[in-house]
Structure formats: C-alpha cells, structure tokens
C-alpha cells in the first residue's frame, strides 16, 4: 500500500485517474525537475529523430511517483510513436511476452513497469528481443519441441523499476540509456503545485503552494494528491482560495503533518519511542506493534523515515534518532531518568 493510497483510504477511482492523466506533462519541455535526466534524454531523442530511427532502450529507476510513467509517455510523444503499457507482474510466462512483442508496430514504445518483477523465462526472451529484435517461439514439448524464430519490428523498450539492484546485469546492460530519478527539491514541487493548480483552475497563493510542497515527501505524485485534497477543503470550508492557513488546516484533517509524516509514519515512530524506548527493535516486532504487515512498514514508512533522519537501521534493529524524539515532542528515556534520579535510564533495556 502506497502513501497516497493511505492518504485517501481507498483505491483511486476512474475519475481520480483521469485527473492524474490530465496533470501529466505531455512534452519534455513541460516536465518539471530532474534537469540532468531531461538534458540527457533530450539528446537521445533528438539524435534518434535526426537519424530517422527508433530511440535506444531506456531504463528509468527511482522511487514511486517521481515521473517514470510520465517520461515514458513523453518519449513516445517526442518520437511521434504509439505506446504500449504493461508491467512485470503481468508477464509470468515467456509466451505472455512473445504475444506482446509480436504485436508491436515499428517504432512503438513498450513501457514495462516494475520490470524487476518479470519472470526469469520472460526475462531471458527479452534479452534477444532488445538486442536482435528477434524472439524464438518454442512449439511443442519434450524432444519434439522446435524453436521458430520470429522477427520483430524495431521498437523502444522503456523499463521502469523501483529496485534497480534486482535487475540482472545482462538485462541492465542492454539498455542504451539509464537514468535514476531523484527526489524533488521543495522549489521544484512548488512549481508542480502551481502548474497543477492552473490546470485544475484552483486559485493558490505562493504561501499555499509552499505549504503543500513542504509536506509532499519530495514526490510530485503526492504533491498533486495533496493539492486535490486541499482543493476539496478550500471549496467546502473556505472561499476556494488555497492559502497557507487553508492548506495547513486541510492537511491536518488528512493527518499529514508539517514534515509530510502521515498516520502510519507517526504510528511507527510512536511505537518505537513509547513502547521500545527508541530501540533497537526488530522490524517484525515493530510491525506487530503498529498492526501492519512487515512489508508495509519496511517498504512504505521506513524509507521516508530514514531519509528524513528520524529512523536508523542497525545490525541490532531499528533505532530512533534524536530528531525523532524532538519531532514527536518526547524526551528520551535516559534523559528523563537522569533528571529524575541521576541514573543511567533505560539504555540497558533497549541497547545503545
């Protein structure tokens, strides 16, 4: 479960998806942030157009919500080509991939999201397809099985992954251009909020955009989701204009604090601080304490808390940092114990 799904406490419906699609930039010049990636990708696409051929295969890595899908659509638009969208989990057999590849048009862009989750047989078929634009389709079983070579039209594969380290080197090496998407700076997110507000026809003053950007966890997708929720609040409980005060009040309703922590983030920190004295504590124990799956804590809450300097991973378990105590308005147990009795506190219970 992702942060933005937890924010609205429901799956995004078709109307929300339509709004998200409308907010996506359509051309590379409209894309905000990622200046190095934009510059490098622009050179790749312009050179391909000048040659009159297809662009090299592109691998985009980075956290969810940073614009990988949007860039894939921009690549297709810049090349004047159609785009086919699928994902790694949907391709569990080599035949699934062969069916997709054999139906591609010349120059078409194939966007493969979560490419690291593709099955190994399909992955091995993709090697030849990317390099030689050919696949071998196996007909029959056992000793009588034969391989029929199938020529493919030139195409551009755009792979997206949140875990580039899981990609085998033979697959990674077949991409002509690789890029890592970085988290956005607050100033860049302010531009995202202003652009989206104009498209949504919502009046937003500069301070209101600053407030939303500061709570967006460095992620444009979250900035757009927060903007829509603040817009709802402004229309119902204010005059429709998003100011700093309106944004702050709206995000308090949706349990997003000043640093972008939501309910789960604060539950993890609260349990770590109040139940385990700041740690160290094992991930499974921490997940049980907050009533969530281990994977949810590890993949959804923990990366942001570590990046914010509120949580540290150690060989003995998860440990809260001094910044976590300050953010939650709590006093570390060793300090409170020393102030009360001059003793060493609870450090011996929970480790150094």
Which residues fall in the annotated binding site?
23-24, 65, 68-70, 131-133, 174, 184, 221, 294, 313, 318
What ranges make up the beta strands (E) of 116-188? 134-139, 146-151, 156-161, 177-180
What Rg value do the Cα atoms of the chain yield, rounded?
Answer: 24
Active-site annotation holds for 54:
no
Tell which residue, 148, 180, 151, has the closest CA to residue 164: 180
Catalytic residue among 4, 217, 219, 221: 221
What whole-number distance in Å separates Cα of residue 300 and Cα of residue 178? 25
Catalytic site residue from 54, 156, 161, 162: 162
Closest to 268 measured CA to CA, from 244, 289, 242: 289
CB 40 within 8 Å of CB 59 = no
Instruction: Please identify which of the residues 4, 54, 69, 219 carries the catalytic annotation.
Output: 69
What are the structure tokens assigned to 219, written together? Answer: 């992620």
Query: What pairing do the DSSP bridges indicate for beta strands 241-242 and 156-161?
Result: unpaired
Known binding-site residues for DNA equal: 294, 313, 318
**Active-site position among 4, 113, 262, 265:** 113
Q: Which residues pair with 156 in a beta bridge?
A: 109
Active site residue 68: yes
* Active-site annotation holds for 162: yes
Rounded (to 5) percent helix, strand, coil in the chain: 55, 15, 30
Q: Which of 54, 68, 229, 296 is catalytic?
A: 68
Specify whether the CB–CB gap between 72 and 225 falls below 8 A: no
Dihedral angle sign, alpha carbons of residues 284, 287, 291, 295: negative
Binding site residue list for Mg(2+) = 69
Which residues are annotated binding-site positions for ATP?
23-24, 65, 68-70, 131-133, 174, 184, 221
Residues 6 or more apart from 305 whose CB is under 8 A from it? Answer: 261, 265, 268, 269, 311, 324
Active site residues: 68-69, 113, 162, 221
């Amino acid at each position: 479960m992702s942060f933005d799904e937890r924010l609205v406490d429901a799956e995004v419906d078709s109307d929300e998806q339509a709004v998200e699609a409308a907010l996506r930039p359509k051309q590379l010049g409209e894309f905000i942030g990622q200046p190095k990636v934009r510059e490098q990708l622009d050179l790749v696409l312009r050179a391909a157009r000048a040659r009159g051929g297809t662009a090299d295969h592109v691998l985009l890595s980075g956290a969810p919500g940073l614009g990988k899908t949007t860039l894939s659509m921009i690549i297709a638009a810049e090349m004047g080509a159609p785009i086919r969208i699928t994902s790694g989990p949907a391709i569990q057999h080599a035949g699934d991939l062969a069916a997709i590849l054999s139906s591609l048009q010349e120059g078409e862009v194939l966007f493969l999201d979560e490419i690291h989750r593709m099955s190994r047989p399909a992955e091995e078929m993709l090697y030849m397809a990317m390099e030689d634009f050919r696949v071998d389709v196996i007909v029959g079983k056992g000793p009588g099985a034969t391989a029929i070579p199938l020529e493919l039209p030139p195409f551009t594969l755009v792979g997206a992954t949140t875990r580039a380290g899981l990609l085998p080197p033979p697959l990674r090496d077949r991409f002509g251009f690789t890029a890592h998407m970085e988290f956005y700076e607050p100033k860049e997110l302010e531009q995202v909020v202003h652009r989206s507000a104009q498209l949504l026809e919502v009046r937003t003053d500069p301070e209101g955009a600053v407030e939303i950007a500061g709570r967006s966890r460095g992620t444009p997708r979250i900035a757009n989701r927060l903007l829509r929720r603040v817009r709802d609040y402004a229309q119902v409980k204010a005059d429709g204009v998003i100011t700093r005060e309106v944004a702050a009040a709206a995000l308090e309703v949706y349990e997003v604090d000043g640093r972008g922590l939501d309910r789960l983030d604060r539950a993890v920190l609260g349990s770590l601080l109040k139940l385990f004295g700041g740690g160290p504590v094992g991930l499974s124990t921490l997940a049980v304490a907050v009533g969530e799956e281990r994977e949810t804590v590890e993949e959804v809450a923990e990366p942001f808390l570590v990046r914010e300097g509120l949580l540290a991973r150690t060989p003995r378990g998860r440990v809260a940092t001094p910044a976590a105590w300050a953010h939650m308005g709590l006093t570390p147990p060793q300090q409170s114990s020393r102030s009360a009795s001059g003793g060493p506190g609870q450090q011996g219970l929970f480790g150094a």
